[in-house]
Amino acid sequence: QMALKKMDSKTPSKKRTSSSRHWQSPPVVVIFKDMESFITKVLQDFIVISSQHIRELPLVLIFGIATSPMIIHSLLPHSVSSLLCIELFQSLSCKEHLSTVIDKLLLTAQFPFKLGEKVLQVLINIFLYHDFSVQNFIKGFQLCIVEHFYSQPLSVLCCQLVDAKKRVNSLSHDQCENIRRLPSFRRYVESQPSQKQIALLTADNFLKEIIQKLLEDLHVYHENYVSVLRCLHVFTSSLPKYPLGKQIRELYCACLENRVWETEEYESSLQLARMLNKSDLVTMLQQCVEIFVSSSGKEFDKTVEKLKEFLTQFQKLEAEAFQERDVSVSSQKELQKKTDLYHLQKTLLELKESRRSKKLTKFEKLRFEVVDYIDSLVRNYLVPADHKTLHEIVYFNTASVLRGHLNAAPRIALHTALNNPYCYLKNQALKSDGGSISNKAPDICIVYKLHLECGRLINLVDWLEAFSTVVMAVEGPNADAASSDQVDDIIQYPFSFLSTVSELELLGFIKPSKQKTDHVARLTWGGC
């Protein structure tokens, strides 16, 4: 009877097997981090040997597996794995962790710092399409914070509301000017009456008052935003095909991006919501009530009331429907009494007729009302953040920076530099027309360009000659005059060629080859 156990190390809970009851002392726990990277022979031997001494030395083995549990069977032959009493513990999938992180970090009014739509999209995309790493997501989030506070001078106001208000009072004139320069603030000023405009643009004190008010608005907006977003998610997440996404993060992105109610997806999800059945609708409404009750927003008393009213109406409807059903049952009974075919046909026709022309039932009306109400909530509270004044203070929006630092493409940078040096060196002489590079480009670009024309092996002599042809053309007729003696010319230019070739070697484009004298091999390839 073996008592070895196998568990996923991510959940360190230990369970004693039945046989462990006989043990005098607690078993020795051995944790194997990253089981896949062990040498299988060692692992097998260890298991076999320790199984022989299990009586004297009780053991619990914990294996950490990064891939699938099936790996056990490919690593250990049956004779060994049968010695183990395996129990599997699985940690949550990384997606769930991500959801938790987003839930706790972003979908809350607790933290003043917010991510813009593009930034969030970049982070989520890196997660979904590159690494599935929650750690990297958090790293990205950290970087966003650093970047925001480093690059946005007004981020001093990105703090808890109470502190922010205090800080507003101590803003310097320059900082006030900074605020006046914010695009969102400019829009706000333009929407004000002219008297107030002047005051906003000239009087710092007045400006500070207004800023405090606006910051408070922004705070309230965030408080409400989250609750309404969750509420909307309750509705959209249960619709067939999830037009607005299954996860709340997708919905959040959509809402951040632009007015969500103007999108087609929103339209179609409303359509679908209008077809929900009653029990679903009631549970959703109950969930919404819970969300609003627990939310920190203060404006939701009325909303909660309204929703509760809907719920009671539904209950009433239920009661009514019960009665109605009685009526219909009785009418059916009536129907059954009449065996006359003609009458039957007639009543059926009547029924059909009435159904077609029938107005909406009470339930349907109510359902429309509910959906419309939710719609109005969305329109009221889910205004995209960049429509709000002073959003620049708390939102980090420069996704390009983030992508450059987290998801860099060194090869593309190299490629661009070699093919189009004008991108980096702003010299008119380098400005290229279309795809080709000019012959005045830096040597390395020319040499690179020439090497692209070659096959697997490159003859250095040809390369050198081609290069000096180009360089001499740039040098002008003086060089041409001397070109009668070819050797001399080549001697004139090789040194820049030599170093450039070594540079290309360093960059990994070529390597020396022994297949043929004075040849180098290309390391990059395409359709040869």
Partner 1 sequence: MSRPERRGSGALEVKFVPDEEVLKHIADDAGIKVRKDKTQLTVSVKRFVKKLENISDNEAQEMLEEKNYVAALGICAQDPVENGSSVSGSEVYSFQTPKRSSKMAELASELAQTPGQSVAPDHSECPENTAKTPQSSKRSSSNKVQQRSKKKEFVSTTPYRLRKRLAAPDPYLESESEYSASCSEEEDEEDQKEVSTVLAGQKTPAKTKAASTPPPRNTLAKKTKEDKMSNLVEEYFEAHSSSKVLTSDRTLQKLRKRRLNQQTLHDLLKKAPLAYAAEIKELNQQHESLFSKWMLQLHLGFNIVLYGLGSKRDLLEKFRTSVLQSSVHLVVNGYFPSITVRSILNSITEEVLDHIGTFRSPLDQLEFIIKRFKEDSSLELYVLIHNLDSQMLRGERSQQILAQLSSLPRIYLIASIDHINAPLMWDQAKLSLYNWLWYETTTFSPYVEETSYENSLLVQQSGSLALSSLTHVLRSLTLNARGIFRLLAQYQLENKDNPSYPGLSFQDFYQQCREAFLVNSDLTLRAQLTEFRDHKLIRTKRGADGVEYLLIPVDDSTLTDFLEKEDEDV
Residues 6+ apart with CB under 8 A from 396: 113, 114, 115, 116, 119, 144, 145, 147, 148, 152
What residues from 486 to 505 belong to the interface with partner 1 (CB under 8 A)?
486-487, 489-491, 494-499, 501-503, 505
Q: Is 459 in the site for partner 1 (CB under 8 A)?
A: yes
From 222-230, 286-294, 314-322, 447-455, span contacting partner 1 (CB under 8 A) = 447-455
Contact range with partner 1 by CB under 8 A, out of 6-14, 200-208, 371-379, 458-466:
458-466
Among 20, 40, 51, 121, binds partner 1 (CB under 8 A): 121
Residue 42 or 487 with smaller CB distance to partner 1: 487
CB of 35 to partner 1, least distance (A): 15
HSE, CB side, 13 Å, CA atoms: give it for residue 99. 10
Name residues contacting partner 1, limited to 137-176 (CB under 8 A).
139, 142-143, 146, 150
Token pair 């400006």 is at which residue?
Answer: 207
- Which residue from 256, 272, 276 is spatially nearest to 264, judged by alpha carbons? 272
Q: 235-249 in b/e burial notation, b at 16+ Cβ within 10 A?
A: bbbbbeebbbbebbb
State the Cα–Cα distance between residues 20 and 25, nearest whole angstrom: 9
- N residues, the chain: 528
Q: Which of 36, 96, 131, 309 binds partner 1 (CB under 8 A)?
A: 131
Site for partner 1, residues 28 to 47, rule: CB under 8 A: none
By CB under 8 A, residue 275 contacts partner 1: no
Smallest gap from Cβ 284 to partner 1, in A, equals 21
Counting contacts by CB under 8 A, is residue 91 touching partner 1? no
Determine if 67 is a binding residue for partner 1 (CB under 8 A).
no
Q: Interface residues for partner 1 in 390-409 (CB under 8 A)?
A: 398-401, 403-409
Q: Does 410 bind partner 1 (CB under 8 A)?
A: yes
Q: Is 58 helix (H, G, I), strand (E, B) or coil?
A: coil
Closer to partner 1 by Cβ: residue 101 or 454: 454
Among 40, 99, 296, 416, binds partner 1 (CB under 8 A): 416
Instruction: Give residue 378's identity as a one-letter amino acid code.
Output: V
Task: Write down the least CB distance from residue 22 to partner 1, Å.
Answer: 39
Cα(521)–Cα(437) distance, rounded to whole angstroms?
24
CB of 311 to partner 1, least distance (A): 31
Q: List Cα–Cα distances, 179 to 163, 171, 509, in angstroms.
A: 18, 10, 50
Closer to partner 1 by Cβ: residue 240 or 435? 435
Q: Is residue 106 within the footprint of partner 1 (CB under 8 A)?
A: no
Q: Considering the rule CB under 8 A, would residue 436 count as an interface residue with partner 1?
A: yes
Single out the residue of 118, 223, 312, 350 in contact with partner 1 (rule: CB under 8 A): 118
Based on CB atoms, which residue is closest to partner 1, 369 or 503?
Answer: 503
136 part of the interface to partner 1, by CB under 8 A:
yes
Tell me the C-alpha to C-alpha distance, in Å, between residue 77 and each of 81, 82, 152.
6, 8, 60
Distance CA 429, CA 179 (A): 41
What's the distance, CA 356 to chain centroid?
47
3-class SS string, 265-325: HHHHHHHHHCCCCHHHHHHHHHHHHHHHHHCCCCCHHHHHHHHHHHHHHHHHHHHHHHHHH
- Between the alpha carbon of residue 30 and those of residues 9, 63, 317, 506, the distances in Å are 10, 8, 63, 46
How far is 59 from 169, CA to CA, in rounded Å? 66
Burial status of residue 438 (CB atoms within 10 A of its CB: 0-12, 13-18, 19 or more): middle
Which of 47, 106, 107, 119 is close enough to bind partner 1 by CB under 8 A?
119
Residue closer to partner 1 (CB basis): 17 or 469 = 469
* 248 lines the binding site for partner 1 (CB under 8 A): no
Q: Least distance (Å) from partner 1 to the CB of residue 228? A: 20
Nearest to 247 by CA among 127, 75, 367: 127
How far apart are CB 116 and partner 1 at their closest, in Å? 9
CB–CB of 253/121 below 8 Å? yes
Q: Are 455 and 522 in contact (CB under 8 A)?
A: yes
For 254, the token pair is: 């959509």
Per-residue contact string for residues 314-343; x = within reach of partner 1 by CB under 8 A: ------------------------------
Q: Is residue 435 at the binding interface for partner 1, with CB under 8 A as the rule?
A: yes
Should residue 254 be labelled a site residue for partner 1 when binding is judged by CB under 8 A?
Answer: yes
Nearer to partner 1, 38 or 373 (CB): 38
Of positions 48, 128, 203, 349, contacts partner 1 by CB under 8 A: 128
Closer CB to partner 1, 200 or 402, in the complex:
402
